[in-house]
Copies of this chain bind each other. A is one copy, B any other.
């Protein structure tokens, strides 16, 4: 049953084979992502403006669309060694179960305590904050993966970490909260009375469960008011995609090590950090004409920014205090239905991913959540790993492609990103088991409401 050349179940890179640079796909993009705009002036944001929000080096990385490779500092490489390289796994059991001629690989990012790929950027952001002599950072978290990752990273560098956690998650996911506390983070349910914006919202909407948009605003305000603090964010930003390129660089190196040529790369897409990181090196080859791949972004049907959104400038947060970004968006006022992939509920998409999509370099598809959980369970039963609902979007698409291969007889090689584990998502799995899960697809009216809140800013 073994293929011609024996591929191990899990391909690990040796320490000396590990990438030592992040790859910045913007440098190779012919159409650069549109610049962030200052929310007050609506002009492209400058380094001096951006460094008031982010620490200096991260502001530089955010604006850098010319350097293709950026050295990873030794301290970050050392931390990466604790949980990287992540394995590139050949899904032999899944292939057998599907009886497909396709060869399926997945890059598994869940083998660290934060349980997801978020740690790749969290450690970088904490490092640069520490290097600048800051005391701490603030952030928001919804589902909790980013907050957990940042807590771990800050604990490692002995930085204060203050997480504003969407109140409904704070209450429904107490275990996530405890993991963050284990790593020494301060966790505040948002909206809270510790910020002006929080107090204002509590006054307007007493008893509200909060939202990511509100938590972002609180975190930004808190960072601005404290000496030696900056705000950090776990997705959407170009700097985050840069750090996450470690996923794609490792994947490329692992494939090369065994002479494997993928036909297709698949990733789930929320804010775009995992997808962007995984695909960057492959898109780079595609842009440079060195290779061709089909690249597929998979998003939830309930929050379909790529497949049903508009490519325009929009607010990044509901409080409208952050810079504006040009992106595929459903509007910052779009309220995604309560699906169970909390990490894929952002109204917009990374500017980099948006531009690649607009240029036709990547494709996108949306999938419904019951089908996603069905694929997740099938995958868990044969491959062992219990996937996060977010990650399972990529599984669903990969399985669909592998089934198509069975029909056509094609021996395609499919690589997908498995971003994390679902240990803290068992409420959702329970609903699925009990037949209580429903699919949400926004109506045209729902979308129109979201689009109505778009700012009147022309694309640049």
Contacts and interface: CB of A to CB of B under 8 A. Distances in A.
Contact of A384 (B112, B382, B385): B112
A424 interface: yes
Contact of A383 (B82, B175, B184): B82
A87 to B, nearest CB: 9
Interface stretch (A8-16, A58-66, A188-196, A349-357): A8-16
B12 A12 contact: yes
A424 B423 CA distance: 8
Say how many copies of this protein the assembly contains.
2
B380 A178 contact: no
Interface string A413-448: 000000001011011011001000000000000000
Contacts of A174: 426, 430
A156 B97 CA distance: 10
Contacts of A111: 111
Interface string A110-144: 01110100000000000000000000000000000
Interface in A354-399: 377, 380-386
A381 B179 contact: no
A32 interface: no
Nearest to A113: B386
Interface string A75-106: 00000011100000100010000000000000
A181 interface: yes
Contacts of A424: 175, 423
A283 interface: no
Contacts of A8: 15, 81
B9 A113 contact: no
Contact of A429 (B112, B155, B182): B182
Nearest to A12: B12
Interface residues of A, number: 41
A60 B386 CA distance: 34
Given A9-B82, A81-B9, A174-B426, A179 B113 contact: no
B421 A113 contact: yes
Contacts of A47: none
A103 B184 CA distance: 26
Nearest to A152: B384
Contacts of A175: 175, 423-424, 426-427
Interface string A230-265: 000000000000000000000000000000000000
A293 interface: no
A89 B83 CA distance: 10
A451 interface: no
A421 B148 CA distance: 15
A334 B427 CA distance: 35
A285 to B, nearest CB: 29
A342 to B, nearest CB: 16
Given A174-B426, A433-B181, A433-B182, A113 B380 contact: yes
A421 B385 CA distance: 14
Given A175-B423, A426-B175, A83 B384 contact: yes
B179 A386 contact: yes
A89 B81 CA distance: 10
Contacts of A386: 113, 179, 182
Interface string A268-284: 00000000000000000
A180 to B, nearest CB: 10
B384 A113 contact: yes
Contacts of A421: 113
A178 B376 CA distance: 13
Given A82-B89, A175-B175, A179-B429, 10 more contacts: A93-B156, A113-B386, A152-B384, A156-B384, A175-B423, A179-B426, A181-B429, A181-B430, A182-B377, A182-B386
